[in-house]
Amino acid sequence: MMRSLLLLLAIVAIFATVKSMPSGCEDTCSALDFEARVFIERESELLRQRRRQDFIAAYNYNINVTEANRQTMINVATANAVLNKELAPELQKYLDKIDDEDLLRQARILSNVGFDALSEKDYKELKNAITAMQSNYATTTVCSFFNKSDCSLTLEPHIQERLSNSRDPEELKHYWKEWYDKAGTPMRKNFTKYVQLSSKAAHLNNFMSYADYWLHFYEDNEFEENLDAAYKAILPLYRAIHAYVRHRLNEHYGNVTVPDNGNIPMHLLGNMWAQNWDEAMELYTPYPEVPFLDVTSEMEKQNYTVEKMFQLGDEFFKSLNMRPLPESFWNLSVLKRPTDRPIVCHASAWDMLQDSDVRIKMCTEVDTHYLYVVHHELGHIQYYLQYENQPVAYRSSANPGFHEAVGDVIALSVSTPKHLKTIGLSPTGQLDAKRRINELFKTALKKVVFLPFAYTLDKYRYSVFRDEIDESTWNCAFWRMRSMFTGVEPPVVRTDRDFDPPAKYHIDADVEYLRYFAAHIFQFQFYKALCTLSKQYVPNDINRPLDNCDFFNNKAAGRAFSKFLTVGNSKHWKPVLEEFTGDDEMNPAALLEYFAPLYEWLKTENKRLGAIVGWEHTDKVAPDCCPPFST
Ligand code: X8Z
Ligand code: ZN
For residue 528, report the distance from its CA to the centre of ligand 2, in Å: 21
Q: For atom 6 of ligand 1, which residue has the closest CA?
A: 347
Question: Ligand 1 pocket, 347 CB below 6 A?
Answer: yes
For residue 22, report the distance from its CA to the centre of ligand 1, in Å: 39
Residue 27 has pLDDT above 90, yes or no: no
CA distances from 545 to 361, 416, 431, 436, 548 (A): 35, 11, 11, 11, 6
pLDDT of residue 621: 79
pLDDT of residue 626: 56
Concatenated DSSP letters for 3-50?
A: HHHHHHHHHHHHHHHHHHSPTT-SS---HHHHHHHHHHHHHHHHHHHH
pLDDT of residue 26: 54
Q: How confident is the model at residue 294 (pLDDT cuts 50, 70, 90)?
A: confident
Which ligand places an atom closest to the C-alpha of 407? 2
Question: Ligand 1 pocket, 373 CB below 6 A?
Answer: yes
pLDDT of residue 627: 52
Q: pTM of the entire structure?
A: 0.95
Task: Identify which of 63, 116, 66, 61 has the alpha carbon closest to the alpha carbon of residue 87.
Answer: 116
pLDDT of residue 24: 54
Phi, psi of 264 (to 5 degrees): -85, 130
218-242 tens-digit pLDDT: 999 999 999 999 999 999 999 999 9
Question: Ligand 1 pocket, 516 CB below 6 A?
Answer: yes
Question: Ligand 1 pocket, 376 CB below 6 A?
Answer: yes
For residue 137, report the distance from its CA to the centre of ligand 1, in Å: 15
Tell me which H or E stretch contains 150.
none
Does residue 157 have a cis bond before it (omega within 30 degrees)? yes
Q: Is the torsion defined by CA of 563, 566, 569, 570 positive or negative?
A: negative
What Rg do the C-alpha atoms of the chain give, in angstroms? 26
574-584 tens-digit pLDDT: 999 999 999 99
Start-to-end CA distance of the chain, whole Å, equals 84
268-298 burial code (b ≥16 CB/10 A, e <16) = bbbbbbbbbbbbbbebbebeeeeeebebbeb
492-546 tens-digit pLDDT: 999 999 999 999 999 999 999 999 999 999 999 999 999 999 999 999 999 999 9
**How far, in Å, CA of 424 to CA of 157, rounded?**
26
Q: For atom 8 of ligand 1, which residue has the closest CA?
A: 516
pLDDT of residue 19: 42
**Probe target for ligand 1 pocket from 277, 516, 521, 522, with the most ligand atoms within 8 Å of CB:** 516
Please, where are the H alpha helices in 96-187? 101-111, 120-139, 160-165, 169-179
Instruction: Give me the catalytic one of 404, 506, 520, 585.
Output: 506
Instruction: Give me the catalytic one of 377, 404, 439, 585.
Output: 377
Share of the chain above pLDDT 90, in %: 91
Q: For atom 14 of ligand 1, which residue has the closest CA?
A: 516
Question: Do 182 and 191 meet the contact criterion of CB atoms below 8 Å apart?
Answer: no
327 classed as catalytic: no
Which atom belonging to ligand 1 lies closest to the Cα atom of 347? 6
For residue 542, report the distance from its CA to the centre of ligand 1, in Å: 33
Which ligand places an atom closest to the C-alpha of 345? 1
Residue 17 has pLDDT above 70, yes or no: no
What is the length of the chain?
Answer: 631
Which ligand places an atom closest to the C-alpha of 505? 1
Residue 180 has pLDDT above 80, yes or no: yes
377 classed as catalytic: yes
**Probe target for ligand 1 pocket from 360, 404, 412, 455, with the most ligand atoms within 8 Å of CB:** 404
User: What are the domain boundaries of the chain?
Assistant: 2-21+29-111
Ligand 2 being an ion, which residues bring their Cβ within 5 A of it? 404
Burial class (CB in 10 A: 0-12, 13-18, 19+), 130: buried
Query: What are the start-end ranges of the E strands in 230-314?
Result: 264-265
For residue 381, report the distance from its CA to the centre of ligand 2, in Å: 10
Longest dimension (CA), the chain: 104
What is the mean predicted confidence (pLDDT) over 127-143?
Answer: 98
44-76 tens-digit pLDDT: 999 999 999 999 999 999 999 999 999 999 999
440-477 tens-digit pLDDT: 999 999 999 999 999 999 999 999 999 999 999 999 99
Task: Identify which of 328, 327, 323, 315 has the alpha carbon closest to the alpha carbon of residue 381.
Answer: 323
Q: How confident is the model at residue 23 (pLDDT cuts 50, 70, 90)?
A: low
